[in-house]
Chains A and B, each alone.
Chain A
Amino acid sequence: MSLKGLFLFVVGIFVFGMISAAEDIDNRVREIAHMLRCPTCQALSVKESDAGLSVNMKERIRELLQEGKSEEEILEFFVERYGEWILRSPKKEGFSLLLWTLPGLILLVTVLLLFQYLRKKSLITSVVETRALSEKEQRQIDNDLKRL
């Protein structure tokens, strides 16, 4: 019971802490600005930066959204002007495909190799095990041990 109580408590907090964000234009500007790298303070995103250029960019994103442009179109607008450098997460094409796919590929391959290896090993051991002690033998051993 105490376990369940504890869990309900944690889950309750969990649920209570989450209030969905409204999809207003300010948030959409932030979402897009978060995908762009600030040219002035390069470790930050445009969203996080208060540098003059970033402020201008945010304003431009807002204008473009009001013109009815989609997120992809707006990102493309900046890529055209600044190059792919401006994207904080490279496009999934060309050379960058190597970036996006290799980690998953490695994970997949190693896990497959591991499973193959383990299956081979467990087959060997299961063969060994079936030939292992029968009940009679076990009793024999137990008796021997007692005698000792």
Chain B
Amino acid sequence: MKRKPYFLLGIFVTAGLVLILIYGLFYASRPGEIPSAQISQKAKPFQATTFDGQTISLQQFRGQPVILNFWASWCVACRREAHIIEAAYQKYGVKGAVFIGIAINDTREASLGFIRRYGKTYLLAPDNKTGTISLDYGVTAVPETFLIDKNGIISEKVLGAITKLKIDRFLLNQL
């Protein structure tokens, strides 16, 4: 048997493995980070009834940028972003930006308590019992925020607590 090609093959395979490991260690995204499959796609329409009884649907905000935030009272990072979103709403709400917060896997009382404690005033609604809206948007964890542009296209998904900078950058573009 000729041995040389086998040696070359072996070196090729091991070098490949080492390259993969280097890539995984230094360049790959974190394994827990899940990219959204819906970026640049039309945002799925939904209907919800807010905690104060108002029925809203995504279609009615056509032509306006929408900040769609998924949250829950039991989530720690949601507390961190609560006042950021509220402040942004105070600033941009009057200019035409729409802020919607959907509470998932939460009890009504706990959600209301959370809203009171953090003084949230934008459109806040619970998802239904089986999480139809959150599943439609492919939510993987709370908090998670979808930035939907004026044409109803999802332009970005933010995993974890959103920052003021991200909201500002998105809305300055849109308004």
Contacts and interface: CB of A to CB of B under 8 A. Distances in A.
22 contacts: A39-B34, A39-B139, A40-B141, A53-B105, A53-B135, A53-B139, A53-B140, A53-B141, A55-B105, A56-B130, A57-B135, A60-B130, A60-B131, A60-B132, A79-B37, A81-B135, A82-B34, A82-B37, A82-B138, A83-B37, A83-B138, A84-B37
Nearest to B104: A52
Nearest to B32: A42
A56 B1 contact: no
**Which label, helix, strand, loop or mixed, suits the secondary structure of the B interface?**
loop
Nearest to B36: A83
B35 A85 contact: yes
Contacts of B38: 81
A16 interface: no
A75 to B, nearest CB: 13
B122 interface: no
Size category, A interface: 10 to 19
A14 interface: no
B35 A56 contact: no
Interface of B: 1, 31-32, 34-38, 104-105, 129-132, 134-141
Nearest to B105: A52
Given A52-B104, A53-B105, A81 B137 contact: yes
A53 B35 CA distance: 17
A82 B135 CA distance: 8
Interface string A27-62: 000000000000110100000000011011101100
Interface string A61-92: 00100000000000000011111110000000
Contacts of A83: 34-37, 138
Nearest to A120: B1
A95 interface: no
Contacts of A42: 31-32
Contact of A59 (B1, B34, B130, B141): B130
Contacts of B136: 81
A79 B129 CA distance: 22
A85 B129 CA distance: 25
Contacts of A85: 34-35, 37
B83 to A, nearest CB: 24
Given A39-B141, A40-B140, A56-B135, A63 B130 contact: yes
A79 B135 CA distance: 11
A48 to B, nearest CB: 17
A109 to B, nearest CB: 11
